[in-house]
Amino acid sequence: MFSLVSTTPWYLALVLLVFSNAVIKASAFSRPPANGVVNCQHASSAGITHRQLNHPLFSSNNNDDTANLLEKARRLRQEVSAIESTKMEKQQVKDAEERARQAEEREAQKQKDKQRMRYSAEVPILKDMGDEIMERVDFPPRLKGGKSRIVTIQAPLPLGLVLGEDASMPGLTSVDEVAPDGNGASADIKQGDIVRAVTACQTTMETPTWQLIAGGIGQPKTKRFIYSVDGRPLEEVLDAIGSNRMDVQGRDAWLVLERMD
């Protein structure tokens, strides 16, 4: 047996000694002790090293999971965006349909108002208290084709008109002739006009309450009112027009006429 000190240079011996000690310590650290007691500091360090080696913080599996979650989130956002877009499109279609419906209603109302203005006129209406109020009254067309309109004329008597009744249309009074220098011609009454209504006057006896108590017979009072001549015989129409001479205020007679354009 040879001596390490005698045959080996001192510096090589030192290196071999340090290396031997390191090997011994590593062997002792890797094997569990016989008595089952483990140095806590060594075990803790070993455990941390072991976990770090076997479960790295950014493994390939974690990267795959993150990518999958991001992809699912992207698809979910796309689905939500598509649903919102569909809702918006449906709402836009609904709004467009509502606007179209309202436009149709406005147009229909406009045509209705236009039709009413064409076949109506403001005339003096006698109220219960004896006052006359101007009100718009409808006169549905008697002439077919939709090319007629309602006009009102005010003229003093005599009118200088010849009125007639069409045998094929009983109750329809028409203007057959207009005297060129008559009041009717001056008021723009035209041949072929259809008489729809006139003012008429009627005298009635009105008795105040105090006269009724005293047994009085009352006093005559003349009232003027609008009289529709639709369906009335010609003689009655002529009498109604002539009754305007009874107007105590001497006002012009009103005629509501239907005229072809």
What pLDDT score was predicted for residue 160? 97
Question: Average pLDDT, stretch 177-195?
Answer: 97
Q: Is the pLDDT of residue 204 over 90?
A: no
DSSP symbols for 1-35: ---HHHHS-HHHHHHHHHHHHHHHHHHHHHSPPTT
What pLDDT score was predicted for residue 207? 63
Q: CA angle, corner 34, sides to 29 and 39, nearest 5? A: 45
Closest CA to 179 of 190, 194, 165, 166: 190
What pLDDT score was predicted for residue 43? 41
Contact at 8 Å (CB) between 159 and 193? Answer: no
Pairing of strands 253-260, 148-155: antiparallel
Among 50-59, 110-119, 129-138, 233-242, the least confident range: 50-59
Question: Average pLDDT, stretch 234-259?
Answer: 96
Contacts of 260 (CB under 8 A, 6+ apart): 143, 147, 148, 192
Q: Is 205 helix (H, G, I), strand (E, B) or coil?
A: strand
What pLDDT score was predicted for residue 98? 94
Distance CA 10, CA 198 (A): 150
In the structure, what pLDDT confidence band is assigned to residue 56 with cuts at 50, 70 and 90?
A: low
In the structure, what pLDDT confidence band is assigned to residue 250 with cuts at 50, 70 and 90?
A: very high
Distance CA 37, CA 44 (A): 13
Q: Is the pLDDT of residue 62 over 80?
A: no
| Each residue's pLDDT tens digit, 75-85 | 888 888 888 88
Share of the chain above pLDDT 70, in %: 72
Distance CA 87, CA 99 (A): 18
Q: Which residues pair with 221 in a beta bridge?
A: 204
| Each residue's pLDDT tens digit, 125-178 | 999 887 899 999 999 999 988 899 999 999 999 999 999 998 778 889 999 999
Closest CA to 243 of 203, 200, 204, 205: 200
> Tokens at residue 139, please?
């006169």
- Identify which has the larger pLDDT, 199 or 77: 199
